[in-house]
Amino acid sequence: MREQIYRQLKQAGGFISGETVSAPLGITRAALWKHIRAIEADGAVIESAPKRGYRLVSPPEIPRAEYVRAHIRHNVVVVYKTSTTSTNDDAKAAASGLAEGVFIAGEQTSGKGRKGRAWVSAPRSGVYMSFLVRPVSEPERVAGLTLAAAVAMCRAIESLADVTARIKWPNDIIIGGKKAAGILTESMLSMDGVDFVVCGIGVNTYARFEGALAETATAVPVNGTLLAAAMIDRFFDAFGQFEQSGLAPFMDEFRQRSAIFGTVTVLSGADSQSGVLAGYDDDGALLLRCGAQLKRFVAGEVTLRGDEGYV
Ligand code: BTN
């Protein structure tokens, strides 16, 4: 019911009378009004005027599936939970009965970052989303999907905000020199190859950072429903291209979006190697010039630190 009402408001593009919305749904005007109040409570701005009806001014901040679905091009299962441990866990749990889907949460009580770190996921502070997909690529190529996803997320953010989104290899999204979003990809392998991949993405929208974190983290204040929808469409556009042509078509844009330059240190376990960033190859590996040697590092195996131009 809520979804149909929201779709009508959105499709009207201007005022639509209460009668026009409620009659086909077989509900009273009073019942409609209650739904409108609930959509407003989710952060939508809806103008109401006597005799003219209702007008959707801006979509809900809370990216519930029933709102997000009204804004996407791709036909995909979208699931929303008000609260969950981690949307990556939700996607993995669903994988036994679902081929492909999107899992969104209003908050995560146990949000996960890379390298075992936590991802702070408070309500109305970010979009927390995981994609469940089944690439047919060989396992060693799947790491590339994370880089393609990073490019897709930059596109999604830039479609809504007047910012330049850059990438700290392999998959941190950097805005104004600070991290605004991160990606945690988990793959499930079977005897036959890749069973499924869960690509979890967190974008800070209204999160506030204090103390030391304020030096390295930032938020991009955009509407939650519109951002979630843009993330879904851009992700599945990219996934389709990745499946057809691999990572190579993304790499020019990835290079242009690189937030890293100059001298960097690559950490791998207890080892560390410093050098000058020489670029990225078409498989998404980082190339480091160490004296006369050119060394190649594969995403997922190393951590990056640097002196200039990135966090
Ligand atoms: C990182 O930069 O360390 C990766 C952060 C990934 C966070 C997202 S939020 C949605 C999904 N669920 C999780 O628990 N983590 C990812």
For range 186-212, the mean pLDDT: 94
Instruction: Supply the pLDDT for residue 308.
Output: 58
Largest CA distance in the chain: 77
For range 110-125, the mean pLDDT: 94
User: Quick check: CB of 63 below 6 Å from ligand 1?
Assistant: no
Confidence of residue 115 (pLDDT cuts 50, 70, 90): confident
CA distance 25 to 192: 48
User: Quick check: CB of 226 below 6 Å from ligand 1?
Assistant: no
Instruction: Supply the pLDDT for residue 311.
Output: 63
Q: Which tens digit of pLDDT belongs to each residue from 250-309?
A: 999 999 999 998 999 998 878 889 999 999 999 999 999 999 999 999 876 667 777 655
Atom of ligand 1 lying closest to residue 105 CA:
10
The torsion angles phi and psi of 137, rounded to 5 degrees, stand at: -65, 160
Does the pLDDT value for residue 310 go beyond 60? no
Cα of 120 vs centre of ligand 1, distance in Å, is: 9
Nearest CA to ligand 1 atom 7: 202
Nearest CA to ligand 1 atom 9: 202
Please state the separation of Cα 64 from the chain's center in Å: 15
Q: Which of 42-56, 100-114, 257-271 has the lowest mean pLDDT?
A: 257-271
The pairing of beta strand 293-297 with beta strand 286-290: antiparallel
Model-level pTM? 0.95
Q: Which tens digit of pLDDT belongs to each residue from 135-192?
A: 998 888 888 999 999 999 999 999 999 999 999 999 899 999 999 999 999 999 988 8
Instruction: Supply the pLDDT for residue 192.
Output: 85
User: Quick check: CB of 84 below 6 Å from ligand 1?
Assistant: no
Instruction: Supply the pLDDT for residue 191.
Output: 86
Atom of ligand 1 lying closest to residue 117 CA:
3
**Residue to mutate (ligand 1; options 185, 199, 201, 235; most atoms within 8 A of CB):** 201
Nearest CA to ligand 1 atom 2: 182
User: Quick check: CB of 117 below 6 Å from ligand 1?
Assistant: yes
Percentage of the chain modeled with pLDDT above 70:
97
Nearest CA to ligand 1 atom 3: 113
Q: Which tens digit of pLDDT belongs to each residue from 217-252?
A: 999 999 999 999 999 999 999 999 999 999 999 999
- Residue 264 CB contacts under 8 Å (≥ 6 apart), including other chains: 274, 275, 276, 277, 288, 304, 305, 306, 307
Q: In the Cβ-directed half-sphere of 264, how many Cα atoms lie within 13 Å? A: 26
∠ at Cα 225 (10, 20), nearest 5°?
Answer: 20
For range 193-207, the mean pLDDT: 96
Q: Do the beta carbons of residue 102 and residue 131 sit within 8 Å?
A: yes
**Residue to mutate (ligand 1; options 184, 203, 213; most atoms within 8 A of CB):** 184
Q: Residue written as tokens 């519109």?
A: 226
Does the pLDDT value for residue 39 go beyond 70? yes
CA distance 167 to 149: 11
Q: Do the beta carbons of residue 56 and residue 81 sit within 8 Å?
A: no
Atom of ligand 1 lying closest to residue 129 CA:
10
